[in-house]
Structure 1
Amino acid sequence: MDVSDIKNVVVNRVSDIRNLPTSDVTDSKSTQSKVNNSKLNKNIINDNKEKELNKNNQSYEENLIYCKLSKRLYEKILINDKYFDKPDFQKWDEDIRLIIEKDGRPIEDVENVIDWCQSDSFWKSKILSGQSLRKNFSKIIIQMNEDKINRSGNQIPLPKSILAQNKESSEPEEEFTPEEIRKINQDVEKYKKILFEKRIKRDTKILRRVQ
């Protein structure tokens, strides 16, 4: 096949394509559009599934925290009363969730309050549920902080400069020799005499003015 033959084949092929019915071209475009839409819908579905999965994982982790705190409270109560009835943990979980999410309490504060209230002689008999914990949370944390201050004896850290002065003042004083002591006494007497003379002069001036 020479070049002219190849050219004729190409021309004929182009002509065949141009002579295709319009419906065939439209059907082809419609099919491709359906394929693209199908892929798009599939991607959207996959994204939604992934978001839902992440949301479920986050919800599971949060619920796990509430469960751990409920169990922590129950175990602390059992230390004081080993026959304490097993509670409705689902209700306790909800109360603790409200403490954290609605009341805005940090998880660390909840842990500390649970531990402290069950070691306090007054509150350990009052906090026997998640509901009572939430109801009295503010009172407990205030008293807990006051207790920490009282235990520390209200001690305020002194500045380093004062601590250094105290350290210097705690060192043993240098002892003077008898000769040094005698000289110091002479100087004291000398200054006493000077002060006395100045006072006399001052009083004399005042008397003259009065006269």
Structure 2
Amino acid sequence: MANYLKEKIDGFAEEANVAHLVKRSNMQVWADSFRLLFEVDEQEDERLVFDVMEWLPSHSFWRINVLSGSTFREQFLKLVLVMHEDKAKRRKGSGGGGGKSGKTPIPIVQQSSNPEDGPSEEEFAELMRQAQASQAAKTGERP
């Protein structure tokens, strides 16, 4: 596990072109941190530990703040909580969460070769009002 975390850290340091700044590490100390995570902290789920290590490079804050085995152990609970929150946000944001997004649905107008089949003037005006309100909300203006 210590070697795996070190590979992850070295990987994102290399991507950021700062690999030369990553210190040589005493992997025995890192391994001891993982031993303590399981024996003293009573972490039982090895898969969860690996999942956190996989997720770590994707989080802009934690990947620069967890650069050793001891820090990984110290912050493990926070890392797990943030990882779960991050994954829940991604599921919700992808549209697969099934929850309400709070956005006003815009009805889809069926395509037709007949121009008379488009939205009526009232429907078009309502769609334009919704678009203007949405744009105003994004910029903080009043519609």
- For the criterion TM > 0.5, the same-fold answer is yes
Alignment coverage as a number of residue pairs:
89
Q: Give the Cα separation in 2 of the matches to 1:103 and 1:118.
A: 24
The equivalent residue for 1:75 is 7
* 1:81-92 paired onto structure 2 within 5 Å: 81=13, 82-83=19-20, 84-92=22-30
* TM-score normalized by the length of structure 2: 0.58
* 1:143-158 paired onto structure 2 within 5 Å: 143-153=82-92, 155-156=97-98
Q: Give the Cα separation in 2 of the matches to 1:113 and 1:137.
A: 8
Q: Give the Cα separation in 2 of the matches to 1:96 and 1:156.
A: 38
Q: What are the ranges of 5 or more consecutive residues in structure 2 without an aligned counterpart?
A: 14-18, 100-143
- The structure whose residues are more often helix, as a share, is 1
Q: Give the Cα separation in 2 of the matches to 1:146 and 1:74.
A: 24
- Percent identity over the alignment is 31
Q: Give the Cα separation in 2 of the matches to 1:118 and 1:104.
A: 25
Q: Give the Cα separation in 2 of the matches to 1:70 and 1:122.
A: 21
The equivalent residue for 1:126 is 65
Q: Give the Cα separation in 2 of the matches to 1:116 and 1:100.
A: 20
Q: Give the Cα separation in 2 of the matches to 1:115 and 1:75.
A: 11
Structure possessing the higher relative contact order (Cα contacts under 8 Å, 6 or more residues apart): 2
* 1:1-211 paired onto structure 2 within 5 Å: 69-81=1-13, 82-83=19-20, 84-105=22-43, 106-153=45-92, 155-156=97-98
* SS of equivalent residue, structure 2 residue 42: coil
AA partner of residue 11 (structure 2): I
How far off is 1:79 after superposition? 1.2
* TM-score normalized by the length of structure 1: 0.40
AA partner of residue 146 (structure 1): E
Q: Give the Cα separation in 2 of the matches to 1:119 and 1:72.
A: 16
Q: Give the Cα separation in 2 of the matches to 1:97 and 1:80.
A: 24
How far off is 1:156 after superposition? 4.6
